[in-house]
Amino acid sequence: MSDEKDKDLNGTEHGEENESNDAETLAEKKTRAVAEAKAKAAELKKKREEEKVVKAGQAEEETQEDAKARAAAEAKARAAELRKKREEEKLAEADEQIESKEDAKARAAAEAKARAAELRKKREAEKSVGSDTVDDTATAKAKAAAAAKAKAEALKKKKEREQAVESVVGDDKASAKAKAAAAAKAKAEALRKKKEREQAAESESGDDAASAKAKAAAAAKAKAEALRKKKEKAAQAGSDDDADDAKAKAAAAAKAKAAALANKRAKEQAGGGATDDEKAKAIAAAKAKAKAAAAARAKGSKTEEAEEEKPSPNQPLLNKYVKVIKEHLGEEVLEDFYINKLAKHVPTLVAKPETFYKLAEFLKRNEQLAFDFLSELHGSDFETHMEVYLYLYSFQNRQPVSLKVKIDRDEPSVDSVTPLWEGANWPEREAYDLLGITFKGHPNLTRIMMPDDWVGHPLRKDYEQYDVEV
Amino acid sequence: MIDQMLAASPNLMNTFLFFTIAAAFLMVILGFVTYAILAERKVLGFMQMRVGPNRVGGRWGLLQTVADVLKLLIKEDTIPKLADRPLFILAPVLAFTPAFLVLVVIPFSENLKFADLGIGLLYYIAISGITTIGILTAGWASNNKYALLGGMRSAAQMISYEIPLVMSVIGVVLLTGSLNLNEIVAAQENWAFIFIQPVAFIIFLIASIAELNRTPFDLPEAESELVAGYHVEFSGFRWAFFMLAEYVYLFAMASLTTVLFLGGWQPIPFLGFIPGIVWFALKFILIVFIMIWIRGTLPRLRADQLMSFGWKVLLPLALANIFLTAIIKELINSF
Amino acid sequence: MIRTEEMLLNVGPQHPSTHGVFRIVLKIDGEQIVEATPVIGYLHRGTEKLAEDLQYTQIIPYTDRMDYLAAMTNNYVICHAVETMMDLEVPERAEYLRVLVMELGRIASHLVWFGTYLLDIGAMSPFLYAFREREVIINLLNEISGGRLTFNYMRVGGVKWDAPEGWIDKVRDFVPYMREQLAGYHDLVTGNEIFLARVKGIGKYTKEEALAYSLSGANLRCTGVKWDLRKDEPYSIYDRFDFDIPAREEGDAWSRYQCRMAEIEEALKIIEQAVEQFPDEGKIMAKVPRIIKPPAGETYVRIESPRGEIGCYIASKGKKEPYRLKFRRPSFYNLQILPKLLKGENISNLIAILGGVDIVLGEVDG
C-alpha cells in the first residue's frame, strides 16, 4: 500500500504538473483546478456552509426548470450532505469564483495546486483503497461507490462533497445536467480521492433515480480520481468511446475527467461499467473518465458541456431513433448521430454510404419512425467529401430527422431514394446536375437546370467554367 | 327603292348603282366593326375598372381601331415556310366572304334591306356554315400544331352548335309560317318573339355566342391554351381579315337576333314616332352589349363540356321547344 | 376503325399560360395527353453558386428574385436561418413588422394566383379585380420598403426600415376593404357553374400521393393534411395569433382554390391581430455585428411561404460568406407531380391543373 501510495503521490504530482500544463492549453485543466479549489474549500468549509444551502435551493429550482429530475435530486442530496460538513464553505468559494465569470478554472488552478498538494497524501491513500474495492467488484460500481464514500467520509472528504455540490450548483445554473454535475463533483473529490468515492456513491444514488448512466459515469469518475496517473490512458479510451457515442455521454465524461486523471482503474471500471450497464451508459461513463483525465475537475468545462446538453429537447427523439434503428438494423448502419443545435435541434443521423438506402427505407417503413415526407434533399461539396442531406418529417409522429450521408468526392455515387419518396426525383436530378452526384437507381438522372450539353458541375468547389464566353 | 332596282332590267347604270350601294354598305360595316371593337374595349375596360383606349383620336380613343388597322395594313406579310401556301392565302378570304354574304338578307328597317329572299333564314344559316371551312383551312394550312388543334376544335364546335341554333329558330318559323325575315319581323308587330318563344331565344343566344367563338365558347382561339388557335401563324392583313370576319359576324348575328326575337325595327308601343332604324339600332346594341358583358364575366368551357352541353342540353331543349310550339299552334288553330 | 397517331406538342417556354419560362413537352393523342415531360431551367440564375461569394446581407436581394410574388417570405427564410445559427433575438417591433409584411405578401401572392388562374381558365375580369387589390398591398409594401416587387426589406436581426407615419393605420384600413372585395370575388367566381365545371375533380390526388411527392402548402392541405408551419412549427411570433389552417379533403383543383381563398382570410386575421398588438415603439434591429459570421456548422430551417414550405440550408465555416447555401423551393417540389396529374387528361385541363399548382418559375429554377 505504502508503495502504491508513494507511486500515487509521485504520479499525482506529475499528473498535476501535466495537468497544469494541460490546463494552460485546455479547459480541462481548469476542471482539475476546480477540484483542487474544492479541496481548499474544504479547509474553509465551515464559513460557507450557509451559502451552500442557499445554492442548493437554487439548484433545485434550476433543475426543475431543466426538467432534469435526477440532477435536482442529486444536487439536493449532495447539498444536504455537504452542508453538514464544512463543504458548504468551499462551495461558496467556488460559487463566488463562478460569479467572477472567470469560471472555476482560474480559481481552481491556483487553489487546486496548493490544496492538491496538501490533500494528495490523504487522498492517495483513500484512492488506493477505493481503487482496490473497485477492482474487486469490477462490475458492482455501486458497492465501490459506497465503499469509497465510507472511506472518504472517514478520511475527512466531507469537504470534497461540498465542492461537488458547488459544482452541481454551478451546473444547475448553467442548466447542465445532473450527471455532468455529479461527474464534476466526482472529479474534484478525486483530487482528494476519499471524497471522490463518496461523491460517486451520491451520484450513483442520483442516477438510480434517474438512469443507470449517471451511475456509471460517477463510478468511473470515482475510480479515475483514485488513480490519476493512469487517467491519461483512460482519457484516450474515453475519447474513443465518445466517438462511438452521443454527446450527452461526452458531457458526463468531461465531468468525469477529473476522476480519470486519478487512476488507471478508471479504464478498468469503465469497462466494467460497460458490461454492467451495456450500451450508452457504459460508454458515457468511459467518456466521462476520459474527459476527466483530460480536463480534470474544472467546473468551467463542465458547465459548457452541460449547456450543450441541456438545450436539446430533442435528445429523447434522437435516442428513440437510434434505439429503434440499432434494434432492427444493428450497430453498424450509423456512422454518427447527434443533435444539430444550429438547426433547431434537429436529430441528425449520418449513414454510411453502403447502408444509406437501407436506413432510408427503414426510416420510412418502420412504424415507429414512419418518415413519410421528404422535405428536402440536396448535395454539398465539402471538398474532403460530398454530402447528401435529407430532411425528413413524419406526419404520423410529427417528428423531424435529418439524414446525411458522406460519400467519396472523386466518384460521388449513392443510392437513389426516389423509390421511397417520389419527391426526391427532381432534387436528385438537381444534385446530379450541379454537383455530379450519381444516384443509383434513379429513373431519369439527367440534367435539370443546366442544358444537356453543359460541361462540368457548377456547384463543385473545383468548378471551372468550360465556356469562357461570358 | 331596293325592290325597284331589283325588279329593273340590268344596265350599266344599275350595275354602277348596285356597286356603289354595296361599297357604301361595306363602309358602314367596316365602320361598325371599327367602333364595335372600340366599344368592346371600352365596355370591358369599364367593367374591369380600366379606361380602355384613350390616346388616339381624343380622350375616347375614337381613332384607336383605325390606327390599329393601319398598323396591320403596313405590317410585313409573313407566310411560314412550311405552310400550305395556296390554302394559307385562301383561308382568310374563305372566312370573311360568307360573313359579308349573310348580311344581304337582313332587313334593317322597313325600307333599308338588300334582298327579300323567301328563304332568308335558311340562306343565312347555310352561308354562315362556310366560314367553318375557312377556319379549318387556316388551321390546316398553317402547319402549326396549335393552329390545327384550334381549327379542329372550331369545326367540331360550329357543327355542334349550328344544330341547336337552327332548331331553336324553327319555333319562330312555325309561328310565322315563313322563312322570310321581313315576314318574321312583321309577325312581331304586337308581341316580339322573345316573349312568345323565350326558351328558343335563350338557346339561340347561347348557340349564337358559340357560333361566334366568343367567351365562354372561345375554345378555338383559347389564348391561354392554344395561344391563338387557328390564326396563330397569321399576321398583318390576313390576320385582320379573321378579326374582321369575327366582328362582321357579331354584327350579323346581333342583327339576326334582333330580327328574329326582338321585333326588328318594330317600335315599343306608343313610341312609334321614333324611326324604325333607331329601334333596330337600339335593340341591336343591346344584344352586342350583352355579348360583351358575358365575355367580361364568364370563364371558358372545356371542349368536352362544350360538346356535351350542345348535344345533351341545348339540342333536346330546342327539340322540345319545337314540339311544344307545334302542339300549341295546332290547339289554337283548332279552336 | 380510325387510326390515330400520337403527336408531340411543345408547350412553352414562351406560352401565355406557363407563368414564365416553363416548358412542357406533351405527347398527345387528339386532345388527350399521353405523356407530359416538364422541362425547366430556363430561368436558372445560379443563386446558390453566386451566394458562395457573397456576404449574408448581400444574398438577401437574390432571394427577392426567387419567388418574386412573395419576396418577403424569401427574405425572411434566409434571415431566419442565419438568426437561428447565431441564436439572435429579434426585437419585438421588428417581428411584428416582419409578420405584417409577410402576410401582406401572402395575400398579394394569392391574389396574383387567383387572377391568373381565372385568366387561364378564360375569365378576364377577375384578374383585373385581383390586381386592383394587389396594387393596394404593393403600395403599402412600397411605402415601407421602397420596392414594389423586390423589397430587400429584411436583415439578419431585424428589418431595414421602420414603418412610416400612418402606415399601420393604412394596414388596419386595408383589412375590412380586402374582406369586402373578397366577398365580391366569391360572388363573381366561386359559385360560377362554368368555373366549377372546370376545376371540380380536376388534377386529383390523394393524401398519400401528396406526401410522397413532397407537396406542401395548399397543394398538401387540399388533401386533408392540416399542416402549416406557422402553426405546427411556429417561428417568429406566429404563436401569438389566432388563426385556422384551411384544409379540404378532395385534393382537386377546386379544393386548392378554396384553400387559397380561405388562406387570404386567415392572413387578414393575422394582420388584424398583429396591428392590434403592434408595439408603439422599439428597436427594429437587434445588435448584430457589422459583418455577419454565423458559427461553423450547418442549419436547415423551413417556413411557410404562400406556395408551401420554403427552406434554407446553410453550411457555414464561420466565414462571412456561406460555404454552401441551398434553398428548398416549394414550387420546384410541387411541380414534380405534374406529369402524373396530366397523364390521360385533356389539353384544356393542362392549364387548369398547372395553374392550380401555383408555381413561380423564378423559384422553380432557382
CA atoms of A393 and A400, how far apart (whole Å): 4
Alpha helices in chain B (DSSP H): 2-7, 12-47, 64-73, 85-101, 120-128, 130-141, 145-176, 181-186, 193-196, 198-211, 223-226, 236-261, 276-297, 303-308, 315-334
**Mind telling me how many Å the CA of A445 is from chain C's nearest CA?**
13
**C interface mutation test: which of A376, A383, A465 has the most C CBs within 10 A?**
A376
Would you call C31 and B145 a contact, using CB atoms and an 8 Å cutoff? no
**Mind telling me how many Å the CA of C165 is from chain B's nearest CA?**
30
Domain positions in chain C are 43-331
CA atoms of A53 and C273, how far apart (whole Å): 47
pLDDT band at C107 (very low <50, low <70, confident <90, very high): very high
Residue pair C217/C307 in contact (Cβ under 8 Å)? The answer is yes
pLDDT band at A177 (very low <50, low <70, confident <90, very high): very low
Confidence (pLDDT) at A62: 46
Q: What is the pLDDT of residues C187-204, one digit of tens each?
A: 888 888 888 888 888 888
Higher per-residue confidence, A49 vs B79:
B79
Confidence (pLDDT) at A27: 52
Confidence (pLDDT) at A291: 52
**Cα distances (Å, whole numbers) of residue C119 to A362, B173, B299, C166:** 46, 40, 8, 35
Nearest CA in chain A to C298: A342
Confidence (pTM): 0.70
Confidence (pLDDT) at B46: 86
Three-state secondary structure string covering chain A: CHHHHHHHHHHHHHHHHHHHHHHHHCHHHHHHHHHHHHHHHHHHHHHHHHHHHHHHHHHHHHHHHHCCHHHHHHHHHHHHHHHHCCHHHHHHHHHHHHHCCCHHHHHHHHHHHHHHHHHHHHHHHHHHHHHHHHHHHCCCHHHHHHHHHHHHHHCCCHHHHHHHHHHHHHHHHHCCCHHHHHHHHHHHHHHHCHHHHHHHHHHHHHHHHCCHHHHHHHHHHHHHHHCCCCHHHHHHHHHHHHHHCCHHHHHHHHHHHHHHHHCCHHHHHHHHHHHHHCHHHHHHHHHHHHHHHHHCCCHHHHHHHHHHHCCCCCHHHHHHHHHHHHHHHCCCCEEEEEEEHHHCCEEEEEECHHHHHHHHHHHHHCCCCCCCEEEEEEEEECCCCEEEEEEEEECCCCEEEEEEEEECCCCCEEECCCCCCHHHHHHHHHHHHHHCCEEECCCCCCCCCCCCCCCCCCCCCCCCCCCCCC
CA B85 to chain CA centroid, Å, is 28
Would you call C333 and A426 a contact, using CB atoms and an 8 Å cutoff? yes
The 3-state DSSP class for residue B37 equals: helix
pLDDT band at A287 (very low <50, low <70, confident <90, very high): low
Grid cell 477505493 — which residue? Answer: A130
The 3-state DSSP class for residue C154 equals: strand
Q: What is the pLDDT of residues C38-65, one digit of tens each?
A: 888 888 888 888 888 888 888 999 988 8
Closest CA to A199 of A174, A236, A224: A224
Cα dihedral sign for C67, C69, C75, C81?
A: negative
Please tell me the number of Cα atoms within 13 Å of A140 on its side-chain side. 10
Mean pLDDT to the nearest integer, A8-16:
41
Question: Does residue C130 register a pLDDT over 50?
Answer: yes
Q: Does C197 touch chain A (CB under 8 A)?
A: no
Q: What is the CATH number of domain A315-440?
A: 3.30.460.80
Q: Does C365 touch chain B (CB under 8 A)?
A: no
Mean pLDDT to the nearest integer, C87-110:
90
Residue pair C82/C301 in contact (Cβ under 8 Å)? The answer is no
Higher per-residue confidence, C182 vs B10:
C182
Q: Which of B48, B224, B302 sits opposite C128 (nearest CB)?
A: B48
Amino acid letter, B204: F
CA atoms of B256 and B106, how far apart (whole Å): 7
How is residue A306 written as a grid cell? 452541460
pLDDT per residue, tens digit, chain B (335 aa), is 566 666 677 778 888 887 888 888 888 888 888 888 888 888 888 888 888 888 887 778 888 888 888 888 888 888 888 888 888 888 888 888 888 888 888 888 777 777 777 888 888 888 888 888 888 888 888 888 888 888 888 888 888 888 888 888 888 888 888 888 888 888 888 788 888 888 889 999 988 888 888 878 777 666 667 777 788 888 888 888 888 888 888 888 888 898 888 888 888 777 777 787 888 888 888 988 898 888 888 888 887 888 888 889 889 999 999 999 888 888 888 87
Domain positions in chain B are 1-74, 80-334
Domain positions in chain A are 16-108, 140-255, 315-440
Q: Does C332 touch chain A (CB under 8 A)?
A: yes
Residue pair B325/B174 in contact (Cβ under 8 Å)? The answer is yes
Complex ipTM tops 0.85: yes
Residue pair C343/C24 in contact (Cβ under 8 Å)? The answer is no
C356 contacts on B by Cβ (under 8 Å): none
Confidence (pLDDT) at A181: 45
∠ at Cα A334 (A332, A337), nearest 5°? 145
Q: Are strands A413-415 and A438-440 parallel, antiparallel or unpaired?
A: parallel
**Mind telling me how many Å the CA of B108 is from chain C's nearest CA?**
33
The 3-state DSSP class for residue B228 equals: coil
Residue pair A372/A364 in contact (Cβ under 8 Å)? The answer is yes
Nearest CA in chain A to C42: A449
CA A245 to chain CA centroid, Å, is 9
Q: Does C48 touch chain A (CB under 8 A)?
A: yes
Report chain C's mean pLDDT, rounded to a whole number.
Answer: 88
Report chain A's mean pLDDT, rounded to a whole number.
Answer: 60
CA atoms of A310 and C53, how far apart (whole Å): 35
Max mean pLDDT among A267-281, A308-322, B33-47, C328-342 falls in C328-342
pLDDT band at C109 (very low <50, low <70, confident <90, very high): very high
In chain C, residues 16-55 whose CB comes closer than 8 Å to chain B: 16-17, 31
The 3-state DSSP class for residue C299 equals: strand
For A26, phi then psi, to 5°, come to -130, 165
Q: Which of C41, C215, C315 sits opposite A380 (nearest CB)?
A: C315
Nearest CA in chain A to C86: A342
Q: Which of C48, C84, C302 sits opposite A459 (nearest CB)?
A: C48
Confidence (pLDDT) at C157: 87
Amino acid letter, A259: A
% of chain A at pLDDT higher than 70: 33
For A144, phi then psi, to 5°, come to -55, -45
Q: What is the pLDDT of residues A92-139, one digit of tens each?
A: 454 554 444 444 444 444 454 555 455 555 555 455 444 444 444 444
Where b means 16+ CB within 10 Å and e means fewer, B185-207 reads bbbbeeebbbebbeebbbbbbbb
Question: Does residue C307 register a pLDDT over 50?
Answer: yes
Residue pair B99/B252 in contact (Cβ under 8 Å)? The answer is yes
Question: Does residue A194 register a pLDDT over 70?
Answer: no
Architecture of the CATH domain C43-331: Orthogonal Bundle (1.10)
Question: Does residue A71 register a pLDDT over 60?
Answer: no
Q: What is the pLDDT of residues A388-444, one digit of tens each?
A: 999 988 888 888 888 888 898 888 888 888 888 888 889 999 999 888 899 888 888
